[in-house]
Amino acid sequence: MKSKETTQEIIFIIIGIFSAGMGLKGFLLSSHFIDGGVTGISMLLADITPVPISIFIFAINLPFLWLGYRKLGKTFAIKSTLAIGGLSLCLALVHFPDVTHDKLLTAVFGGIFLGTGIGLAIRGGAVLDGTEIAALLVSKRSQLLKVSDVILSLNVVIFGVAAFVLGIEQALYSILTYLSASKMIDYILNGIEQYTGLTIVSIHSEVIRQTITETLGRGVTIYEGKNGYGKDGAINDPRDIIFTVATRLEIPSIKKEVLAIDPKAFIVQQSIDDTTGGLLKRKGLH
């Protein structure tokens, strides 16, 4: 089983390398558009110096790989080193066709291929850009900064420099590339069927539970709680609080059924980044 998982991870990383290579050489480099993070810094330096991007990508990532080795483990560091080294070799040795000179298509599809590559590498247990390592470590040391805040701050600086060096238009298209790549990474890591959590507080919790599990075919978790002050005016009244996870397409039907049972039901909806175990797919209903 472990051998199968290792093979799958290697396949993810290899496909990720070639996808990222296609995004860079097939779209972005010829139009002088950049991405965020270490990849963006490497692209920017390659654009203003005679040194090829393959060298910059490996060299600039080395300090981050060392941090990954110290803080995140030997296996992660080895995988990431091989992945980044593979990307550097791919960029240096593999020929990719220059697909299009249309700026909008270049920005969008360059980001899609690059984001797909980065996402697949992460699925394989590695990274193609060391920025995530640094952001994770900084966020662990500071309670005020999240990983996304650190990455955003770094990218603001990168795109600001790009606007000065490459021009405003290239910088704006580069931001579009970054957004496109980020969205693809989200899809690769979290899936197109992103899950949403629903917390439901109602005096008719048992009927709602039966409807969700038996009619809609979803699993639920029941919390024991007490009402503070609600529309029914009751205080410290015992309540069963229902929690369920569903796809975005299923949320409207669940809310419709709940509100049909209890129009005063209190429903809280939140995004879920990832889920493991439990009843995530609909049960077969008879």
DSSP class per residue in 128-167: S-THHHHHHHHHHH-SS--HHHHHHHHHHHHHHHHHHHT-
Asked if residue 226 and residue 105 are part of one domain, the reply reads no
Q: Residue 53 domain-assigned?
A: yes
Asked if residue 144 and residue 64 are part of one domain, the reply reads yes
Task: Note the pLDDT tens digit of each residue in 29-52.
Answer: 988 899 888 999 999 999 889 999
Assign residue 167 a region: left if phi > 0, alpha if psi is -120 to 50, beta otherwise? Answer: left
Average model confidence (pLDDT) for the chain? 84
Asked if residue 178 and residue 133 are part of one domain, the reply reads yes
Asked if residue 166 and residue 59 are part of one domain, the reply reads yes
Domain count of the fold of the chain: 2
* Rg, C-alpha atoms of the chain: 24
Asked if residue 167 and residue 109 are part of one domain, the reply reads yes
Q: Which domain holds residue 93?
A: 2-190
Q: Cα separation of 107 and 24, whole Å? A: 10
Least confident piece of the model among 72-76, 93-97, 223-227: 223-227
Q: Residue 79 domain-assigned?
A: yes
The side-by-side arrangement of strands in the sheet containing 238-247 is 220-226, 238-247, 195-201, 266-272
Task: Note the pLDDT tens digit of each residue in 113-158.
Answer: 999 999 899 889 888 988 877 766 665 666 555 555 667 778 888 9
Residue carrying structure tokens 């390659």: 46
pTM for the predicted model, two decimal places:
0.73
Provide CB contacts within 8 A for 233, sequence distance 6+. none
Which sign, positive or negative, has the C-alpha torsion 213, 216, 220, 225? Answer: negative
Mean pLDDT within 168-193? 85
**CA atoms within 13 Å, Cβ hemisphere of 110:** 33
User: Which of 190, 206, 221 delimits the end of a domain?
Assistant: 190
